[in-house]
Structure 1
């Protein structure tokens, strides 16, 4: 994974991108799926931590060091994910697990759960959550150059 590149995270089920809602830059900005475009709130960069884990920074809020975050390090299925200022916590670290089709599942270091599009929905505005890893296409993401 090129840690200097910016990527779109495109869901294999819906073909839509992981998006920081409303181009927000504040802690707690919701993650949604949205039709892919060129906007910076759909662009993500991987920063290596250790043991294959990465923090995933949003380009729109990179100056604030906003990364994909599991609020309160919850281990619960259905916990909606957001962006938060990078603090090095395990709840902000994700392990990309390569799939045979070139896509990835992203597994939380804190919970062992996967980045997931709620209910395998395909609509714009659907929340990005964590859920027990199950191999579903709603937990699978292609990395597209931005």
Structure 2
């Protein structure tokens, strides 16, 4: 470029040409490349003119160095980030939830009183058969002599011995059956109903997991005897008073369940007569203010009503 140049005869001219390299050098040092320029006069053969040109890189060398260093730093940072394992530790401590209720008493629940077993009656000693003949008159041991013979004494002695023997054999009293020991524990009596907390269907003395509690006429049966233990549980028939499913909602059933240490099995009898579950901060309640036999027990917000008041009795 330009492709055509007009030069007068006998004259010389300089032509500025632009060369386009076939390959671009993006990075790197300068390079010298050869080129050939064909000059042709009108009506004459082309005249090749050879030369070299200097080709520089498209981007400066310092930029390539910068990109290389930046890439190396990025790779190093990524590897360190992946390999680094921070030591994570928690300074949190367990916080014991306070019951925080004015209804719960500060005093410990009273310990259950265990009644002593009744004294077994002594078995009477039966009289030996023929006791009439074996008895000796008082004072007879001093002489050792037999009693004086009187008329009819042999007949009288024989008859009296027979009657004495028969009387001794038939007069021995039958052995009385010992009364079973009364179950340990106390009665929990409702103020509004004057009836006892009772395990439904537990008259046979066998506790069944999930049995609903109710109020019933006090009969001092094992399923009406309760023990307030130091761990906060209230037990009967070898099981614990329990809020069904550990619920904190009003209307949750009060039942008998296997002792597990769950907070739903902790109850405190306050000095005001409220039987409180500290986890829910609610009271044991007779359903619908009921006072009749068979009224079930539930968990309910403490309101101070008679169906939520209880007392213990030995």
TM range (shorter): 0.7 to 0.9
Correspondence for 2:268 = 95
Structure 2 CA distance, aligned partners of 1:12 and 1:135? 11
CA contact (8 A) 1:70 1:92 kept: yes
Query: Which residue of structure 2 aligns with residue 57 of structure 1?
Result: 235
Aligned partners of 1:3 and 1:48 also within 8 Å: no
C-alpha deviation, 1:122, in angstroms: 1.1
Give the total of aligned pairs. 132
In structure 1, stretches of 5+ residues that fail to align are: none
Once the two structures are TM-superposed, the CA of residue 71 in structure 1 deviates from its matched residue by 1.1
Q: Where do 4+ consecutive residues of structure 1 move more than 6 Å?
A: none
What is the TM-score with the length of structure 1 in the denominator?
Answer: 0.86
Asked which structure has the greater CA Rg, the reply is 2
Question: C-alpha distance in 1, partners of 2:269/2:207?
Answer: 24
Question: Does residue 1:42 correspond to 2:42, yes or no?
Answer: no
- Matching residue of 2:211: 29
Counterpart in the other structure of 1:14: 193
Q: C-alpha offsets along residues 85-117 of structure 1, whole Å, 9 cap, x if unaligned?
A: 111110000122112xxxx21111221110111
**Larger RCO: Structure 1 or Structure 2 (Cα < 8 Å, ≥ 6 residues apart)?**
1
SS in structure 2 at match of 1:130: strand
Q: In structure 1, which of residues 67, 70, 74 is the aligned counterpart of residue 243 of structure 2?
A: 70
- Residue of structure 2 aligned with 1:2, choices 111, 115, 123: 111
> Which residue number corresponds to residue 303 of structure 2?
134
Aligned mates of 2:310, 2:276 — CA distance in 1: 12
Alignment gaps of 5+ in structure 2: 1-109, 115-184
